[in-house]
Structure 1
Amino acid sequence: MPLEPAEQAQLLERYNQELLVAGYSGKTLKMYGIYARQFLAHTNKPVDSIDRGDVVAFLAKKKQDTNAANATLALVHSALKFFFHSFLKKKIVEDIKVPKKAKKLPSVLTMEEVRGLIKATRFGRNRLIVEFLYASGVRVSEAAKIKLDDLDLREKIARVWGGKGNKDRIIILSTAWIKELKKQLKRRKVASPFVFSQKTTQNPISTDTIERIIREAAKKAGIPKRVTPHTLRHSYATHLLEGGENIRKIQELLGHSNLSTTQIYTHVTTDELKKVKSPLDNL
């Protein structure tokens, strides 16, 4: 017999707890739960009787019905692999192959575009957020939950707790940003432990709100490319590298576990170098 709704809910709750203990958070935690729920609904059979064929059938249906991109299939595969291997201790996903996620060069803003984006953002909290994302290179989820206690304004550093992979790290703060932050804190109407709070409550600003702020500013600035909080993270890393900063330091500031993840920015800067015209061609 298939799982009863109450049994399925209990199973998924335990799965969610297992993910939390393993250090998963944010969108990954949410999507892993969604895909596990979809899979159980698709198979509609007892967990003990689920086999490799059921997983393959679900992945095939996902590809066929939604024309899922390789990155999505890889995420579904990872979610089910954790569900069966790490959670249920059932090795049925290990040898199932899915297309590798295509490695695309990140979209990066020019320095002029960053200036335009900041200028197009309304003064106050919103501009402070945009400046912080570019000045520190943090992920949007990290920016949303950073607290005032995490900042050391005298040393011009901040600590990011439990980043991706549950890693803590130190980030640098901009002198100009610190000066503006102090002004904004004096104008706050509602006290909050968070650096970026909602306007009328103590709660932290949502990642959706941050994304909307940046989207609207990019449109106002007339930037033709798609701009997200992660675009500012990419731009931060690329501009540091172009400025001659050591790639190992950039790796630490971004919180990358592997240097290879950071090295993608060397390809971005190489593309910029290719735009330089040889002086010989001007003769």
Structure 2
Amino acid sequence: MLKDKMISDMIVHGYATKTIRNYTTCMTVLTRYFQKSPLELEPTDIYKFFLYLRLENRSDSSLINFYSAILLFYSLIDRKEMLQLVPLPKRKRTVVSVFSQTEIVSLLSNCCTFWEKIIFTLLYSSGIRIGEVVNLQISDIDFERKAIFIESGKGGHARYALLADKTAALLKQYMEIYNPKSYLFFSHKGKDVAVSIRSIQAAFQKIRKLAGIQKYGTVHTLRHSFATHLLEDGYGLVYIQKLLGHADIKTTLLYLHVSPESLLQITSPLEKIGNFKPGMFESQNQYGLQFR
């Protein structure tokens, strides 16, 4: 079956589980839209399908997923020309939402439980993704090296993230109180079940409202804030890229969105010229005549 071949091919090429699921869903949507096999379609059909997606106001990310999934499918049968009428969707660059350090303090101060306090402190202090947090094992925490091992980040890449001293202290208290067995953060269903992403998202929105933060934000905003605050503290993009687990530094460039106030605090190179003093020359016009 071609669907199984597509899934097997993605597994062999190291596609993340989430990506495999997304691409499979995209092909299912395509099949249901036309009520026939993708093998029976023509390039004009694919064009009509993307027109339908546009009219449905699908996001740029969604369109890119559909394009990638359909391209992969037809590549397996050597029919890449099926997308010849459809331009490659481009993701519009957006300015990400970032919390100020004052807002971060307010958010963490309004956590109602110790469980909330440690999760959101960990998310901000390390910059790891919510999907990486729910998969953390006890063995992934290295207190001695002050590091968090991310076994399988986005794209299946392993890396180390920061374990701040304050976060480590909270984690030790948390482990004494909750006594996790395998998953660091477990579900109410049992210690062998990871906490759900949805429960963390719901807790975040509740706390954001309690903190009186009017600015739009999601759990992922903590990751954006981590990266932005490091950049503002003078750390290089390459270091931030490695900590975030970005395969391409172009993704990290998203955080070059400093505010006008920050830009105005930059010292002009003229200020570093020691022997230059204002007023040392009379103003002259192009003919050398002095202005009085």
When normalised by structure 1's length, the TM-score is: 0.85
For 2:57, the aligned partner's letter is N
Out of 40, 48, 51, the position equivalent to 1:49 is 40
Residue 184 of structure 1 deviates from its aligned partner by 1.2
Residue 100 of structure 1 deviates from its aligned partner by 1.5
Mapped to 1, the partners of 2:36 and 2:198 lie a distance apart of 36
Mapped to 2, the partners of 1:27 and 1:220 lie a distance apart of 32
Moved over 4 A (4+): 274-278
Aligned CA distance change for structure 1 residues 227 and 27 (closer, same or farther; 3 Å): farther
Q: Does 1:109 align with 2:99?
A: yes
Mapped to 1, the partners of 2:77 and 2:111 lie a distance apart of 48
Mapped to 2, the partners of 1:153 and 1:93 lie a distance apart of 53
Rg bigger for which structure?
Answer: 2
Residue 101 of structure 1 deviates from its aligned partner by 1.4
Q: Does 1:247 align with 2:237?
A: yes
Map 1:198-213 → 2, pairs under 5 A: 198-201=187-190, 202-213=192-203
For 1:53, the aligned partner's letter is T
Out of 213, 220, 228, the position equivalent to 2:210 is 220
User: Which residue number corresponds to residue 273 of structure 1?
Assistant: 262
Percentage identity across paired residues of the two chains: 27
Aligned CA distance change for structure 1 residues 275 and 127 (closer, same or farther; 3 Å): farther
Map 1:141-152 → 2, pairs under 5 A: 141-152=131-142
Mapped to 2, the partners of 1:54 and 1:271 lie a distance apart of 47
8 Å CA contact 2:67, 2:89 repeated in 1 = no
Out of 177, 183, 188, the position equivalent to 1:194 is 183
User: Which residue number corresponds to residue 180 of structure 1?
Assistant: 170
- 1 or 2, which has the higher helix percentage? 1
Out of 120, 124, 128, the position equivalent to 1:134 is 124
8 Å CA contact 1:134, 1:235 repeated in 2 = yes
For 2:94, the aligned partner's letter is K
List alignment gaps of at least 5 residues for structure 1.
1-9, 279-283
Structure 1, 153-162 or 107-116: larger mean CA deviation? 153-162
Out of 158, 174, 181, the position equivalent to 2:148 is 158
List alignment gaps of at least 5 residues for structure 2.
268-292
Aligned residues: 265
C-alpha RMSD of the superposition: 2.3
Per-residue deviation, residues 216-239 of structure 1 (Å, max 9, x unmatched): 111111111222121010000000
Q: Does 1:91 align with 2:80?
A: yes
